[in-house]
Amino acid sequence: MSTDAIVLLKEDHKEVRRLFREFEGAEWNATEVKADLVSRIVEALTVHTYIENEVMYPAVREHVPALEQDVLESYEEHHVADLLCAELDVMTPDDERFDAKTTVLIETVGHHIEEEENDWFPKVRDALGRNKELQEIGARMLEARATAPHRPAHPSSFKKAAEALLR
Ligand SMILES: [Fe+2]
Ligand SMILES: [Fe+2]
């Protein structure tokens, strides 16, 4: 099985986009369905941004210094997503801001994923090719996934939020 880091991250993106579309297609009054979808979106994003923050982004900074600014911008976009996820995690669909906040999360993360996939992942691919480096980064991401936080209230999620401020 390939552990190519970019392939693995794109698989995550595909799943996240699928959940986004399901939310957008849900009936406005389908509160249980929407609560369940947002819970799954928050979980998927909490794990995904964690493994990017902990493994992918530091590796890209190390191996492709030209992408430094793109990586820093991406950390900030993760931070915004983290805040929205933490807020949504303690809300219910009957809150008047629930749909609005979810829509902003979908727009923000949608833009972020597009930048990763269209803008700077291709530059990582150009720099590193399909060689061992990206396989090795992917293998480390799979390891990190095994111990990644799944909810925003998990202590290692707080660590991530604090680092975004203190870095
Ligand atoms: Fe990201
Ligand atoms: Fe991503």
Q: Which two tokens stand for residue 107?
A: 């727009």
Ligand 2: centre distance to CA 16 (Å): 10
Per-residue pLDDT tens over the stretch 66-125: 999 999 999 999 999 999 999 999 999 999 999 999 999 999 999 999 999 999 999 999
pTM above 0.75, yes or no: yes
117 backbone dihedrals φ, ψ, rounded to 5°: -75, -40
What local confidence, expressed as pLDDT, does residue 154 receive? 73
Per-residue pLDDT tens over the stretch 15-61: 999 999 999 999 989 999 999 999 999 999 999 999 999 999 999 99
Q: Of the bound ligands, which one is closest to the alpha carbon of residue 77?
A: 1
Burial class of residue 74 in the structure, from the number of CB atoms within 10 Å of its CB (0-12 exposed, 13-18 middle, 19+ buried): buried
Angle between helices 31-51 and 155-166 (to 10 degrees): 60
Residue environment code for 116-129, b if the CB has 16+ CB neighbours within 10 A, otherwise e: beeebbeebeeebe
Q: Of the bound ligands, which one is closest to the alpha carbon of residue 53?
A: 1
